[in-house]
Amino acid sequence: MAEAESGDLRSLMLAANRGDTESYARLLRELTPVVRRIVVAHRRSLAADAVEDVVQEVLLSIHAARATYDSDRPFMPWLIAIARRRIIDAVRRQIRRGAREEPYDDRTVTFVAAQTNTLGEDAVRTDDLRGAIAQLPRGQRLAIELLKLREMSLEEASAATGSTVGALKVATHRAMTTLRARLKKT
């Protein structure tokens, strides 16, 4: 099966080198998944987003090296040699780029002042906050959800709940006081 496939590719390559553009288009289309398989097999050394770039580089190299194909020799070793070389080039390029660049981590310290580095702290407090809101009385919990979490206006929240604006303000104030007290404890 693989031998027949290789023989087909060889015939297409020979026709393409004679100037048959249809055969060349077919050859490149049939080669693309083969090349992709070869490149994906090296995914350990290559970044996942680099695979398609390397596939395109291999196709470009095949185009540039058409004259080096010897009709008396099998096609697949010729193809694999080019693909392997381009993968090595890509891995080297990736290593060089990696040596020059520092990965950006948005959870690391961004400013000197401790107050500005609250990302980690927020992640911890989110669970506590969610728990504290859940323990609020229904009216207060509803007021917080609508006004603070969904960011509704007082009028919208009033229309949604049937409570007056004043009652919502009171419920929100009490809820905030309770939450502040509970979170301070934790």
Partner 1 sequence: MSIETDELIEMLVADAAPVRPLAPPWLRTSIWFAISAGYVTVVVAVMSQDTSRFANIRFSRFWIEQAAAICTGVAAAAAAYLSVIPGRSDRWPLLPTVPLGVWLGILGYGCIRDWTQHGAAGLLAASDVPCAVAMLLGASVPVAVLMVALRSGAPLTPIATAALAGLAGGGLSSVIACVARPLPHPTTMTVVVWHLGTLLATMAVVACIGRYVFTWPTRPPRSSQ
Binding site for partner 1 (CB under 8 A): 16-19, 21, 24-25, 28-29, 32, 52-53, 55-57, 59-61, 63-71, 73-74, 77-82, 85-86, 89
Q: Nearer to partner 1 by C-beta: 82 or 168? A: 82
CA–CA gap between residue 147 and residue 81 (Å, rounded): 65
Shortest separation between residue 124's beta carbon and partner 1, angstroms: 41
Shortest separation between residue 58's beta carbon and partner 1, angstroms: 10
CA–CA gap between residue 97 and residue 68 (Å, rounded): 31
Shortest separation between residue 90's beta carbon and partner 1, angstroms: 11
Comparing CA positions, the residue from 141, 122, 142, 95 lying closest to residue 183 is 122
Q: Nearer to partner 1 by C-beta: 37 or 180? A: 37
Q: Nearer to partner 1 by C-beta: 28 or 167? A: 28
Q: Nearer to partner 1 by C-beta: 70 or 106? A: 70
Other beta carbons within 10 angstroms of residue 118's beta carbon come to 10
| Residue whose token pair is 């998944």 | 33
Q: Nearer to partner 1 by C-beta: 59 or 91? A: 59
Return the sign of the alpha-carbon dihedral for residues 24, 30, 33, 38: negative
Shortest separation between residue 32's beta carbon and partner 1, angstroms: 6
Q: Which strand (E) or helix (H) includes residue 37?
A: helix 21-40
Shortest separation between residue 157's beta carbon and partner 1, angstroms: 48
Comparing CA positions, the residue from 18, 44, 147, 33 lying closest to residue 79 is 33
